[in-house]
Structure 1
Amino acid sequence: MWRTNNWRSALAIILAYPQQTQRLVDDLKISSLTLQRWVRGEENPYREQVQELLHALPQHQSRLLPLLAEEFEGMTLHTREIEDIPSIFYAQVLRGSTTIPITIRFWSLASIVLQQVLTQLDPYRTGLLLRVARFLPPGADGKLHCLREAIIQGTAPWEEDTTQNAILLGAESLAGQALTEVHLIVINSCDDDCLLPTTLHKHEVSMLAFPIKRGNRVAGAFLVSSTQEGYFTPSRLSLIHRYTDLLTLTFESEDFYEPDMLDLAVMPGAAEQQRQLSTFRQRVAALLKQAAREQQSLNTMQAEIQIWQQFADEFRLQTS
């Protein structure tokens, strides 16, 4: 998190990363020595360079703008607007929703959407984590007790694809709260005192959960996390909302449930879940072998859902 009260100190933090320095050198067509003179207060940027500096660092605009405006009084500064979702991408997702086989439709389409989100919202790879969580099928009591992280993608410091580290989310999670209220939840600053410590991913500072819904029915949540404090500006929220609407096309009609079916349980913390989930693949393989011996029809996807259900039941007993 930044703890600065002037733009020069903020720029010094940015220049600690060589790739950021090179980007400013290239975009502003100045030397790294000039940047250091700005930091030390030995030289001031020209008026047009102030605006170029702001545009060259889109991921830092929300922090730099008030600091620059304070020193350069009377100068009209503006941030570069985030572009809308390209119309050609809408067409690509719509076409995929009707042509991709149902067995791989969710995974294929959701992966494409998340890649586009990363390209548009984190072009400089400063740290964005995206997760699509979906409900496990209702339990024997007809209620929905938890969600699973079905697809996870991100940029450094997170791995590009961390789906193998997926966990279950319940009432304790941001996704659970958003779905219980059927409303967006945003946290623009999270430190050691954050209210959701057990479900935090390392490096998360700002985070949100958008319910994925069709009409009044819900299928899961779109979770976005950033390494930056105050990341979710109004323009970013609006764009993420539109991407959440696109994600509804990756789900089938039967994946959506009435909100009164929710009875979310509390799941263990992420570290404890991942310790126990280390046996997930072995249990799936064992279930498939058992089905083959008994000549039952069971594919890998069905076996995985059954094992997720088993873990969900075990976790509920642990936290009850």
Structure 2
Amino acid sequence: MNREAFSWRSFLAEIISDPQEKQRLANAMGINPVTLTRWVRNPARASGKEKYPRPQIHSLQQLVASLPEYREKLIPSLLQEFPELSREDFQLPETPPRFVEPLSIPVICYETVLQAISLLAGELRFITVFDHIFNYAIQQLDPERLGLVGSLIVCTAPGSGQKVHSLRELFRIGTRPWNTEREERNIYCGAESLAGQAISTSHHYVIEDAHAYTGWLPLRPLDRGSSIAVCPIQRTGKVAACLSFISTQKRFFTRDRVQLIQKYCHLAVGAFDENQYFPLDQIELKLLPPPEKQEPYLRLFNKRVQELLLQGKAITRMEASFIVMRQLEEELIQSAALDEAVY
């Protein structure tokens, strides 16, 4: 697209043809993705002339700020369509900060999450809430795409009369070098992990440089990461899960970033049913083996569920999955105990 023919609306239409990029841009600008579509859709006709929707000046400034690499192409096109504006309206501060700490969750995130909590139930509510939360949180925390991944780690439901002995990382999503789509994990962890410490104490923790860390906090090796922050999801003295974020950058998790993660944890409370929260005195985490040693066990999960269903017992697939999940938990705890005994 040459400079003379460049149109900011046509260019924006190309960008938002990718749904993921459309959502990312909307998040960065703090607007609804539908608004971007309105700006580029076929214009209405007024007095025989085509008439596009007119964005507010602040929105145009946000558009330019959110696409800094295209700044010098966007501004001339915007000035041509809106002659009342000047280049000064898009002027950068003399000493722009490298990153403006995000202190608040966008209103659109609150709206979408609370709507999901109100209208949906069960697994659909759960997945929808956390898809929204991770989408907005990662965009806010890592707008420069330096490398960040967020994980949801939940308490493994215990048997009747038993305590919580393990946690499970259900899924993760991030920016590169991690997967940018939701990645199912189902990895067990426990007392050997920072997530385990956060859930057992109902407190958040940050490690600024994992490779040089020699402190007392439990820490598994970080997958391609240098720093980590973990915050529990809690309600009236009970804990259900935690959000874990790993960054490729050392000392990434400033106080403001940790406070933002905590706000997302508060927003996530409604994703869980009441029986998924456990008082601290009912949490007694055991040691679990590292992920690579769990893989042979987890690979057989679906096969074991199917075998259980074929035994003819009157149980649902969900009930069979719960039974196998607890069987695997016990087997992995025993495996970790044997490894400890050897060493």
TM superposition score normalised by structure 1: 0.71
Aligned-partner Cα distance in 2 for 1:86–1:96:
16
CA 149–194 in structure 1, closer or farther in 2 if over 3 Å, else same: farther
What is the one-letter code of the residue matched to 2:95?
Q
**Post-superposition shift, 1:197?**
8.5
What is the one-letter code of the residue matched to 1:177?
Q
* Aligned-partner SS, 2:112: helix
Aligned-partner Cα distance in 1 for 2:260–2:118:
24
TM superposition score normalised by structure 2: 0.67
Partner of 2:95: 51
Aligned-partner Cα distance in 2 for 1:159–1:286:
32
Q: Which runs of 5+ in 2 are unaligned?
A: 1-66, 74-91, 338-343
Pair 1:158 & 2:178 matched: yes
What is the one-letter code of the residue matched to 2:319?
Q
**Post-superposition shift, 1:181?**
1.8
Equivalent residue in structure 1 for 2:167, among 137, 147, 151: 147
Partner of 2:128: 108
Aligned-partner Cα distance in 1 for 2:69–2:93:
12
Partner of 2:275: 254
Aligned-partner Cα distance in 2 for 1:285–1:155:
35
Aligned-partner Cα distance in 1 for 2:180–2:322:
24
What is the one-letter code of the residue matched to 1:178?
A
Partner of 2:235: 214
RMSD: 2.5
CA 277–297 in structure 1, closer or farther in 2 if over 3 Å, else same: closer
* Aligned-partner SS, 2:105: coil
Partner of 2:117: 97
Partner of 1:281: 302
CA 263–169 in structure 1, closer or farther in 2 if over 3 Å, else same: same
Partner of 1:66: none
Partner of 1:298: 316
Aligned-partner Cα distance in 1 for 2:218–2:165:
20
Aligned-partner Cα distance in 2 for 1:271–1:50:
50
Task: Tell me if the contact between 2:210 and 2:222 (Cα under 8 Å) persists in the aligned partners.
Answer: no
Partner of 1:118: 138
Computing the radius of gyration over CA atoms, which structure comes out larger, 1 or 2? Answer: 2
Partner of 2:17: none
* Aligned-partner SS, 1:220: strand
* Aligned-partner SS, 2:240: strand
Percent sequence identity is 30
* Aligned-partner SS, 1:219: strand
CA 232–193 in structure 1, closer or farther in 2 if over 3 Å, else same: closer
Aligned positions of 1:1-320 closer than 5 A: 26=70, 51-52=95-96, 54-55=97-98, 58=99, 80-139=100-159, 141-161=161-181, 163-191=183-211, 199-290=220-311, 293-294=312-313, 296-299=314-317, 301-320=318-337
Deviating more after overlay: 179-188 vs 162-171: 162-171
**Post-superposition shift, 1:217?**
0.7
Task: Tell me if the contact between 2:229 and 2:258 (Cα under 8 Å) persists in the aligned partners.
Answer: no
Task: Tell me if the contact between 1:111 and 1:151 (Cα under 8 Å) persists in the aligned partners.
Answer: no
Per-residue CA deviations over 1:26-84 (Å, capped at 9, x if unaligned) read: 5599xxxxxxxxxxxxxxxxxx88724x44xx3xxxxxxxxxxxxxxxxxxxxx24251
CA 51–164 in structure 1, closer or farther in 2 if over 3 Å, else same: same
CA 194–164 in structure 1, closer or farther in 2 if over 3 Å, else same: farther
